[in-house]
Structure 1
Amino acid sequence: MTPLPPQIRRQPVERAFHGHVFPDPYEWMRDKESPEVLEHLAAENDYAEASTAHLAGLRETIFGEIKGRTQETDLSVPNRRGDWWYFSRTVEGGAHQVFCRVPAATTGDLLADWTPPVVEPGTPMAGEEVLLDANAESEKHEFYSLGSFDVAEDGSLLAWAEDVAGDERFVLRVKDLGTGELLPDEIPGTFYGAFLSPDARAVYYTVVDESWRPHQLRRHVLGTPVADDAVVHEETDPGLWLGAGLSADRRWIVVEATCSEFSEVRIQPVDEPAAEPRVVLSRADRVLYEAEPFLLDGRELILLTHDHEAPNSRVSLMDPVDLGRPVAEVSLRDVVPASETERVNGCAVTASHLVVSVRADTTLRVRLVALAALTSDPAAAPVEPAFDEELYTATVSAAEHDAPVVRLSYTSFTTPPRVYDVFVSGATGDDDALPAQPVLRREATVLGGYDPADYAVERDWATAADGTRIPISLVRRADLDPSVPAPVLQYAYGSYEHSTDPAFSVSRLSLLDRGVIWAVAHVRGGGELGRAWYEHGKKLRKANTFTDYVAVTEHLAARPDVDEHRILVMGGSAGGLLVGAVLNLAPEKYCGALAAVPFVDPLTSILDPSLPLTALEWEEWGNPIEDPHVYRYMRDYSPYENVRPLPYPPVLAVTSLNDTRVLYVEPAKWVASLREATTSGQPVLLRCEMAGGHGGASGRYSQWKDTAWEYAWVLDRMGLAGA
C-alpha cells in the first residue's frame, strides 16, 4: 500500500510589502512550541520513513561501507605549542574526539624537537594526559557539540564551550590542567571562539543579541562573578558580525566587526585590558580587511590584508601612526600586490615569515614570504610548495609564531587528507640542517584497499547564456565505460564567496563505486574565480547563480558519458535555495532533488529583522525592506513564492528543529507547497532531525547514518538501489 503524506491544513495569512500581497497559508508552522507543529513534523518523518522503507537494507549497507572504510580508532598529527604536543584521538564506538597531550622535549636540535612523536591509535603514550573526553561528555546529552577549545599559553588551563541542544548557544567552562579540577567559573550563552589571555588570568568570549548576532566581546577575570565581566567592545550595527582573537605574537587583542563588504578592526594591548581598543581603518572607508599587529626588526607595524583599490585583495604594511586615519591618507607598502587573476584569501605572520593563502586557477595554495625580504631590495620571491595534482586544496592548519615549521593541510577529490610540515628557512641560523621540501607527516587511512588510481578527476567548462564560462569538477570511477551514459549527482553552493574546493570524501565512494559521476558546478556567487565571481552572483545579480547551474546541467546532459535523464540536483543551506530556484526554472531536467537545511523562503526571513541573522544577510541579498526593487528581484527567484503547477521531480528536504541559521519552517512550508502544486505525482519528502542544528545530528555515527539515508534515496532516484 502506498503511504499517504500528512494532511496539512491551510490558514489564511498574508504578507504585504511595497504594494505586493503574498498569501502564505503555511506560515502557521513557524510556531516551534506548538504541539500541532511538532506533531506535523513527526508525521512528516513517519511518511519519509514509510515511503523509503524499501531502502532500509541499502541504507545499512552504505552505513557499513562508510564505517568500514573509516579507521575508527585514529588520531590527529600532534601539534607543538610551548612545552606540549597536542592531538586528538577517536576510538571505535565513540562519536566524538578525545583531546590529549604529551610533554615535548627541547634539546636545541630543531629538526628533532619539531618532529611529532609517533603516537599509535588506541595506545596511550607515556605521560599522556586527557584534556577533554568529548565522548564521555556527550553521553549525558542527546546532542553535543564544541564551540571553543583553547589551552593557555603556559599549558595550565583549558577553556572550552559546549552546546547540548543544537542551537549554537554554548556554556563556557575552564579546567585546571594541573589538578584536573573544574574552576567555579561557568558562563552560559556564549558564542564560538572563546580564548584565554596569555597570562591565563582571564578568558575572552563573545555573546549574541536577540537576533543571534555576536555583538559583544567580554572579558572574564577568573575567580570573579560573571556579572562583573567587562565589555571590551560592543558592536551596535545590526549588519556587522563581531569576532576577536589574539595577534600571532600574543601581544594584542584583535577585535573585528565585519560583513561581506567591509570591516572595522580594533586593537588593544594585551597588558592594558582597560585601554580603549583603537580603530585601524574606519568602516566609513568601506574597506574589507584583516589586520595583524607585529614586529619587523623591532619596529611595530600593522599587516593589512585588504581590498582597497584591489578587488582580489592585497597585503600591505601600515605604520601604527596612521591608525584611524582615512585610508586615502594612509601610506601603504605592498608586500603582496593586487592581481586580476589571483585572490588573496588571508595572511598569517610568524617570527620569520608571512604565510599567505592564495586562490589561483580556482584552487587554494599557500605561499611563504620571508620577513627578511620585506626589508631587502630586491625582495625575494614568495615560495609555494608544489604538489602533483591539478585540482587540490592546500591550506594552513598551524603557523605558531615562534615555530620553525608551518603546518599545511592538503587534500583533493581522490587524495585523503594529508598533513605536511614545511620547515621555514630563516627561522634558524642552521637552515642547511632542515628539510628543503614539505615533510609528509600523515595521510588519512582509508580501509578496504582504497586506491586513488581507481578514480578519475576532470575539469570541464560550461557556457552560461551571457557567454561566461563556468568551471565544473567531475569525479568518477576510472573504469567507467565512457560510451555508456552514467547518472550524475550535480552539487553546488554558490553564495557568500564560499568555494566548493577539491576535498576527499569517504562517503562519496559509495556513490562512485555504484557508477555515479559526482559533478560540482562552480557557479557565480562562490569565490572560485576571484571576487568578481562572487560579486556577479549576489544581490541584484543573484539569478546568475541559478542560471549558471542550469547551464552546467545542459552542458553535462549533452556529453555522451552522461545520462541526461538521471541528473540529480543537490545543495544545502544557501545551496538549498539554489536547489529550490533551479527546480522552478527547469524541473524537467532532474530525476530528483536533495535539499539540506534549505534556505527556500529567503524573502519572508529577510523581511523580518527579529529573525536570526537577518540584518547580516542584507549585504548578501540586498535589503528588501527599504528597496522595492530588491523586494521584486528576490520575489522573482524565491523558491517558496514561485512554486506553481510544474512537473517537479521527487524531492527530499532535510532539516533540524533547532537550526538557528535556516529555520525548520522554511523547508516545512516549501515541502507543503510543492506537494500541493506538483503535476508529476512524484513524492516530496521532509526529514526533520528533532535534536540537531544546522549541521544535523551530532556525532560521526549519526552523521554517517544520515548520509547513508540520503545517498540511498539518491541511488533509488537514479535506478541504482540494487547496485
Structure 2
Amino acid sequence: MNEKNILRNAVTPPIAEKQPQVLELHGDRRVDNYFWIRDIDNPKVIEYLEAENAYTAEMMQHTEAMQTKLYDEMLARIQETDLSVPYRKDDYYYYSRTEEGKAYRIYCRKKGNLDAIEEILLDENELAAEHDFFELGVFAISPNHQILAYSVDTSGSEQYTLFFLDLSTHQLYSEVITETYYSFAWANDNQTGFYTKIDATNRPYQLFRHTLGTASTEDVLLYHEPDDAYPLYVAQTRSQEYILLILNSSITTEVRYLNANNPQGDFRLIHPRTQGIEYGIDHHQDYFYIITNEEAINFKLMRTPVSSPEKENWQIVIPHREDVLLSGVSLFSNHLVIYERKGGLQTARIQNLTTGEENNINFPEPTYEFYEGSNPEFNTNILRYNYTSLIAPQSVFDYNMETNQRELKKETEVLGGYDKAQYESEWLMATAEDETKIPISIVYKKGIKKDGTNPLLLTGYGAYSMSYSASFSSTQLSLLNRGVVFAIAHIRGGEEMGRKWYEEGKFLQKKNTFTDFIACAEYLIAEGWTASDRLAITGGSAGGLLMGAVINLRPDLFKVVVAQVPFVDVVTTILDTSLPLSAMEWEEWGNPNDKVYYDYMKSYSPYDNVAAKDYPDLLITAGLNDSRVKYWEPAKWTAKLRELKTDNNILLLKTNMGAGHGGASGRYESLRELAFEYAFVLDRLGLGEY
C-alpha cells in the first residue's frame, strides 16, 4: 500500500509554492525555497498548514475506526476517577484527584488527618473551561498554608500568567502578573514571592520580588541576566531557610542565595560562573552541599560553611568516580539521599548524617526507572519515591530511612485485568561503529519468536544529557497486545552511561547519536527481533532531529517513522538568536557562526540533507504555538521531502493549530493524538483493523 493507492480517490498532497531565499554564511550559499513558511502573519501560511491537515485527515480516514478502537481501549485501562497519594506538609495532607469525564486535575488538601473534610484548592477543569489549551505552571503554597500562587498557560506558548489565591476566602488577589516563567519561591513572611519574567525569546531572564496585595508595577527587579545563554530560575531549599537564584546554561552554572527570613536582603554569590563548570546547591544546618563537575566529569559532592561559602572552603564529601555518575542528592534533617548511575542503571543509597551508616535501595528488574516523589518535609525519616519499569505500573513507596523498611502506598491500577507476568523486559547491548556498547531496553508480550517477523517500534532521544526512562505505559499495551515489540535505544547524547556518554553525543561528536541509533536498529534485526520492513521508529523534539538524521543516512533501514515536533532545521534556527532557545543551544550543538561548527551541523541537519531518494512512510507533527520547535521546521521539512523524495510512500504533516510543544492538553485529547499516531504506525506496518 502506498501514498498513491491508499485511497481509491486519494486527494492530491498539498505542494508548497517555492519562494527562494538565499542564506549565506562562511562563503556557503544555501537556497531555502520554503523560508516563507516562517511568516505566520501571511494568510497563505495558515492556508497551507490547514491544507496539509485536511490531506492528513483524508489519507487517514480509513483508520478512523481503528483510531476509535485504540482510544477506547486505552481509556478503558485508566482509572478515570482516581486519587494521588497524599503527602504531608506541617499539619496538612495535600493531594490531587481526577473525575470521570473531566480532562484535568483537581487539587485538594485535608487538615489534621485524612478523615478530615476535603478542601478544594484549585480545579483545573474550571480554569480550562473557556480555553482550547490549558497548562498549570506554578503551584506554590505559602509557608503558612494560607495563600496559593499559581500560573497558567492557555495557548501552549509557555508564557504563563501568575495569580494569587487567598485560601481562607477563595478570592483572588487583585494583582495579575503576565509573561512569567514556571519557577516561583515564597519567603517565610508569607507576604513576599519571587518570580521570573521571560524575554522576547521566552527565556526567563529577570527575577522580581513581589509583595502580596500590591500592584505588579511596584515589584522590584532584583536581577537581570543579559547573556542569552543563561536562563534564570528561582527555588527554595527543602530546609526553607534559603531562596536560590540559579543561572544555568547547558554547561555552566552560577548560584546566588538569600535568607528566606530576610526577603528584603540581597542575594549573595556562591561562586562566579566559570565556563564549563556546573554546580548545584542544597542546604543542611550550617552547611551548603554542592554537586559540581569541576575536575570531576561524573560529578562529586562538596560541602562548605554557610558563613563562608567561598570556593576555598569547599570540602569533599563524595569524591569523583570514573565508573559512577553522581546524578543528584537530597537532604533531610538526619539523612543524605545519594542518587547515582552505574552500568547505565539508577541506584540510590541513604547515609545517616549522624552515624555515617549507609544502606542501598534495591530494585528488582533488569531495566526500570525510579525518582524522588513529593518530600516537602525536612524533619522526617520518610523518603517517598516512585518506581516503574516497562512491565511494572508506577508505584509510590515510603521508605523509612532509619529502619530501611519500605511501604507500598499505591500501585497505579490498570483496568481490564493487566497481568505483568504475560510480558517480559530485557536489557540488551548493541555495538556501535566505534565498538562502544549501546544499551537497549526492550519489552514484549511473552510468546513471540525471534524469527525476524515481529513488528517493532524503536525510540530514542540522545540530547541535553537526558536519560530515556524505561517506564510503564498502559497505552503501550495497545501495541504489545498486537504483537509489537517496543524498544528504547539509550544512545549517546543522554547520560545513561555517565557524563562522558553525554559529551560523546554533542558538539563535533553529535553524529554518534545517529549512528548509535542505527547500530541499535541493525542489532535488533540481526538478532531476529524484527526486520527492516517491520521496523517503525519514533522520536520527538531533539528525538525528531534523530528521526530526520537517521532516515537521511539509512532510509532503507526503516519502514515507518513518526517525528513529533522535530527539530530539523538545525543551522537556520540556531543562527537566529531572535528565536527562543537559539543562543542557549550553542552550548549543546555548537555556534554555527564558527565555520567548523557550521560545516559539521550542516552535514547532519535533516532539512539541509533531504535528497532525491526513497524515504519511509512518514508522519510529522507540529504545534502552531510551539515556542521550542517552531511550527515551520516540520512544515518546511515536509515541503522539501514532498519536492525531492522519489518513493510513493505516505508523507503526512499534522499541525495542532491550538497547542505548543507538548501537543494537546487534557488527558482525553492527548489520548486521541496518541491513538492517531498508533493507528498510523499499525496501518503502515500492515496491522490495520477496519
Please report the TM-score for the alignment, with normalisation by the length of structure 1.
0.92
Read off the aligned partner of 2:100 and give its amino acid letter: E
- Is residue 312–residue 339 contact of structure 1 (8 Å, CA) maintained in 2? yes
2:318 counterpart of 1:341: no
Within the alignment, does 1:593 sit opposite 2:579 as a pair?
no
Tell me if structure 2 keeps the 8 A contact 1:365–1:395.
no
Q: How does 1:522-537 map to 2 (within 5 A)?
A: 522-537=490-505
Question: Which amino acid is the alignment partner of residue 87 of structure 1?
Answer: Y
Distance (Å, rounded) in 2 between the aligned partners of 1:229 and 1:583: 51
| Equivalent position amino acid for 2:626 in 1 | D
**CA offset at residue 591 of structure 1?**
0.5
Matches within 5 A, 1:186-201: 186-201=176-191
What root-mean-square deviation, in Å, do the aligned CA atoms of Structure 1 and Structure 2 show? 1.4
1:259 equivalent to 2:249? Answer yes
The 8 Å contact of residues 574 and 583 in structure 2, kept in 1 or not, is answered as yes
Aligned residue identity for 1:588: D
* Distance across 2 between alignment mates of 1:104 and 1:65: 40
1:2 to 3, 10, 16: 10
From 680, 683, 692, the equivalent of 2:659 is 692
Question: What is the CA distance between 1:285 and its match in structure 2?
Answer: 6.2
Q: Is 1:711 the counterpart of 2:678 in the alignment?
A: yes
Tell me the equivalent position of 2:532.
564
- Of 555, 558, 571, the match for 1:603: 571
Give the counterpart letter for 1:423 in structure 2.
N
Check conservation: 2:624, 2:659, Cα contact below 8 A.
yes
Aligned counterparts of 1:50 and 1:199: Cα–Cα separation in 2: 59
Q: Does 2:118 correspond to 1:128?
A: yes
Which residue identity lines up with residue 420 of structure 1 in the other structure? F
1:77 aligns with 2:67: no
Q: Which residue of 2 aligns with 1:397?
A: 373
- In 1, Cα distance between equivalents of 2:335 and 2:473: 32
Please state how far the C-alpha of 1:603 moved relative to its aligned partner.
0.7
Residue 332 of structure 1 and its aligned partner are, at CA, apart by: 3.0
Amino acid at match of 2:369: T
Structure 1 residue runs of 5 or longer lacking an equivalent are 106-116, 118-124, 374-378, 426-434
Aligned pairs for 1:267-666 (under 5 A) are: 267-284=257-274, 286-295=276-285, 300-320=286-306, 322-323=308-309, 325=310, 327=311, 330-373=312-355, 379-380=356-357, 382-399=358-375, 400-425=377-402, 436-483=404-451, 485-625=453-593, 627-666=594-633
Q: C-alpha separation between the residues in 1 aligned to 2:334 and 2:367?
A: 30
Distance, in Å, in 2 between the alignment partners of 1:629 and 1:309 is 27
Tell me by how many angstroms 1:707 deviates.
0.2
The structural deviation recorded for 1:607 is 0.4
Instruction: Tell me, in whole angstroms, the C-alpha distance in 2 between the residues paired with 1:440 and 1:683.
Output: 47
Deviation per CA, 1:518-555: give whole Å up to 9, x if none.
11111110111000000000011001000111111111
Q: What residue in structure 2 maps to residue 20 of structure 1? A: 28
Provide the identity percentage: 39
Query: What amino acid is aligned across from residue 296 of structure 2 in structure 1?
Result: A
**Larger displacement relative to structure 2 (225-234 or 39-48):** 225-234
Cα distance between partner residues in 2 of 1:285 and 1:554: 39
Aligned position for 2:139 = 149
Q: Which residue of 2 aligns with 1:722?
A: 689
Distance 1:321 1:225 in 2: 35
Q: Which residue of 1 aligns with 2:4?
A: none
Structure 2: which amino acid aligns with 1:132? L
Counterpart-to-counterpart distance in 1, 2:349 and 2:104: 33
CA contact (8 A) 2:187 2:263 kept: no
**Distance apart, 1:199 and its partner CA:** 2.2
In the alignment, which residue of structure 2 is the partner of 1:108? none
For structure 2, the residue ranges without an aligned partner over 5 or more in a row are 1-8
Amino acid at match of 2:28: H
Whole-Å Cα distance in 2 between the matches of residues 672 and 701 of structure 1?
31
Is the CA contact (8 Å cut-off) linking 1:462 and 1:470 kept in structure 2? yes
Compared CA separation, residues 89 and 366, structure 1 to 2 (3 A): same
- Answer yes or no: is 1:673 the counterpart of 2:640: yes
Residues 296-334 of structure 1, C-alpha deviation per residue, up to 9 Å, x if partnerless?
Answer: xxxx211001111211111111134553x4x4xx24332
Between 207-216 and 556-565, report the one with greater CA deviation. 556-565
Moved more, 285-294 or 33-42: 285-294
Give the Cα separation in 1 of the matches to 2:187 and 2:453: 59
Contact 1:414 1:504 in 2 (8 A): yes
After superposition, the C-alpha distances for 1:23-76 in whole angstroms (9 at most, x for unaligned) are 001010001122111111111110001011110011001001110000000010
Partner SS for 1:283:
coil
SS state at 1:193 partner: strand
CA contact (8 A) 1:385 1:438 kept: no
Q: Separation in 1 of the partners of 2:192 and 2:463?
A: 37
Q: Is contact 2:251–2:587 with CA below 8 Å preserved after alignment?
A: yes
Letter in 2 for 1:36: K
| One-letter identity of the residue aligned with 1:463 | T
Q: What's the counterpart of residue 89 of structure 1? A: 97
Give the conservation status (yes or no) of the 8 Å contact 1:655–1:664.
yes
| TM-score, structure 2 as length reference | 0.97
Q: How far off its partner does 1:279 sit?
A: 1.2
Paired position in structure 2 for 1:66: 74
Count of residues paired in the alignment? 681
* 1:101 maps onto 2:83 in alignment: no
Given that 1:244 and 1:253 are in contact with CA atoms closer than 8 Å, whether structure 2 keeps it comes out as yes
Report Cα offsets for 1:651-707 as digits up to 9, x if no partner.
100110000000000000000001111111212110000110110011000000000
The aligned amino acid for 1:306 is: T
Matched, 1:45 2:53: yes
Task: For residue 225 of structure 1, report the CA deviation from its aligned partner.
Answer: 1.6
